[in-house]
Structure 1
Amino acid sequence: MMLEVKNYNTFYGELQVLRDFSVSVAAGEILCLLGRNGAGKTTALKSILGLVPPRTGTLVIDGKDISGLPAEQIPRHGIGYVPQGRRLFKELTVRENLEVGLMTRKSGGAAMERALGYFPALKERLGQQSGTLSGGEQSMVAIARALCVEPKIIMLDEPTEGLMPSMIQAIRDVVTKLRNDGVAVLLVEQRIDAVLPVADRIAFMDQGVVQAEFDVDEVRADSSLVQKYLGVGHG
């Protein structure tokens, strides 16, 4: 397994948010964490990155135990992160935002070229202020910035939220291409329709716990699973 997270217990103050949270993702696989608002999905990604460190638990990347490392060191082991809401430096240009990604692992210009290979449209926008881009283009920049880390694992927090259908498809295509290129993908979503086209496996999350995990084909074939774990109709 490329990424293994075992028994994370994570708190905000005295409030426990993750309870024995465990997931694993292989190279060339897309695992989707699916759950309602407040299920702990975003905290799970932040906890893996060390931004909200777990009190207990183990993190293994590519066979190496890196549990307890400070947050600034974890991405250097090959984890890219696309936060919810993109979090670009909006006053900086596209190029400058990508250079922030390069600094994480001291990657060179070749890493930026590879990242831009997934988003050819951005090549014409390198000198443009990021804040002047459309929402979809900003999502592309956020993903490209994460790819400048040259990640073995990429974690995306609701990357298609608020985007037009054509842009949602473009993002899905890139996520699928990353998987095909051997990257391990951990995708957070709260809408089942957003993940069925791309996920290999789905882990249903509620109240900080992974309640169940299924191959995507099982979920496609049995809509009662969505009802059971998300409490919503399968639209």
Structure 2
Amino acid sequence: MLRVTDLASGYQKIPIIMGVSFEVGDGEFVGVLGHNGMGKSTLLKTLVGQLPATAGRIGFAGSDITHAPTHQRARRGLRYVPQGRQIFPGLTVRDNLRMGAAGAGLADDVLDEVLDELPRLKPILGRAGGVLSGGEQQILALARCLCGRPRMVLLDEPTEGIQPSIIEEIIDILLRLKRRSGLTIVLVEQNQDFIRRLADRVLIIQKGRITGEVPPDHLADPALVAEFIGMAVT
């Protein structure tokens, strides 16, 4: 589904990710784990086209999308749920979802199938996005992404600022989507338990480079986590 080869990017003349290579198979959930400032969000922004690649190649679903504009990547099925959610606060929940469908050139009838997967949103369709709780906004951001019928979703820190009960709900949603639709996900996250419960594989990123891969169950062992990346289990 996704093949990244020797990818590099950054901000103006400051390199952030350097020589990153990895693959994600169809239907896989792949976690990317590392300290803050190691290039996790930069990697996702480069994959989705918000930042230009300065070297390397991005292959998606058999096509070279390295220099394709963001909207073309979205139309091919590569969608992004950014850190901080970035919903439209002044629009209703329904209109936020409609924006997700419109961005993929789809009609509003896709909303019903997404709402069946995320029924929590049904009673609040007329509510403005900006008045929702952080957890509701995160579910809305995911739902808006799903309204584009993605083949792959890039998720950036989805548990940030979210209460534990909503984190559990998001885990259930993502596992259900994997079973029913075979959705492919690349997940950047600091919450190691969240990654452990969802990911098929976990890539370690340090100073802008993929330095290794660990089985998800290793994240339950603080000694193993410290050995690979020196992070405290959260």
Query: Do Structure 1 and Structure 2 share a fold, with TM-score over 0.5?
Result: yes
Per-residue deviation, 1:23: 2.3
Provide closer, same or farther for how the CA distance between residues 83 and 94 of structure 1 changes in structure 2, counting only shifts above 3 A.
Answer: same
- State the distance in 2 between where 1:92 and 1:176 align: 29
Distance 2:222 2:28 in 1: 22
Cα distance in 1, alignment partners of residues 231 and 59 from structure 2: 34
Mapping 1:122-161, distance limit 5 Å: 122-161=121-160
Structure 2, unpaired ranges of 5+: none
Q: 1:113 and 1:102 mapped to 2: Cα distance?
A: 11
Aligned counterpart, 2:195: 195
The correspondence of residues 188-227 of structure 1 with structure 2, limited to 5 A, is 188-217=188-217, 219-220=218-219, 223-227=222-226
1:184 aligns with 2:188: no
Mapping of residues 2-151 of structure 1, within 5 Å:
2-151=1-150
Aligned to 2:230: 231
State how many pairs are aligned. Answer: 233
Distance 1:211 1:225, change over 3 A: farther
Return 90-99 or 176-185, whichever deviates more.
176-185
**For 1:73, what is the secondary structure of its paired residue?**
helix
The share of aligned pairs that are identical, in percent, is: 39
Alpha-carbon shift at residue 103 of structure 1 (Å): 1.4
CA distance in 1, matches of 2:215, 2:132: 36
Q: Quickly say closer, same or farther: Cα 1:80–1:117, change in 2 above 3 A.
A: farther
State the shift of 1:234 in Å. Answer: 3.6
RMSD of aligned alpha carbons: 1.5
Partner of 2:174: 175
User: How far apart, CA to CA, are the structure 2 residues paired with 1:73 and 1:109?
Assistant: 20
Q: Which amino acid aligns with 1:13?
A: Q
Q: CA deviation at 1:193?
A: 2.0
| Residue 223 of structure 1, CA deviation | 4.2
8 Å Cα contact 1:39/1:208 also seen in 2: yes
Q: Is the 8 A contact 1:27 1:179 kept in 2?
A: no
Question: What amino acid sits opposite 2:147 in the alignment?
Answer: C
Gaps of 5+ in 1: none
Counterpart-to-counterpart distance in 1, 2:113 and 2:52: 31
1:169-217 deviation digits (Å, cap 9, x = unpaired): 0011111122222111100012322211111100011111011012324
Show structure 1 runs of 4+ deviating over 6 A: none
What is the letter of the counterpart of residue 141 of structure 2? A
Q: Distance in 2 between matches of 1:233 and 1:98?
A: 37
What SS is found at the alignment partner of 1:112?
helix
TM-score after normalising by structure 2: 0.94
Question: More displaced, 129-138 or 101-110?
Answer: 101-110
Q: Following TM superposition, by how much is the alpha carbon of 1:63 offset from its aligned partner in structure 2, in angstroms?
A: 1.6
Give the deviation of 1:72 after TM superposition: 2.3
Q: d(CA) in 1 for partners of 2:222 and 2:157?
A: 22
Q: For residue 44 of structure 1, report the CA deviation from its aligned partner.
A: 0.4
User: Which string of whole-angstrom CA distances, capped at 9 and with x for unpartnered residues, describes residues 88-117 of structure 1?
Assistant: 110110011111111111112232222212
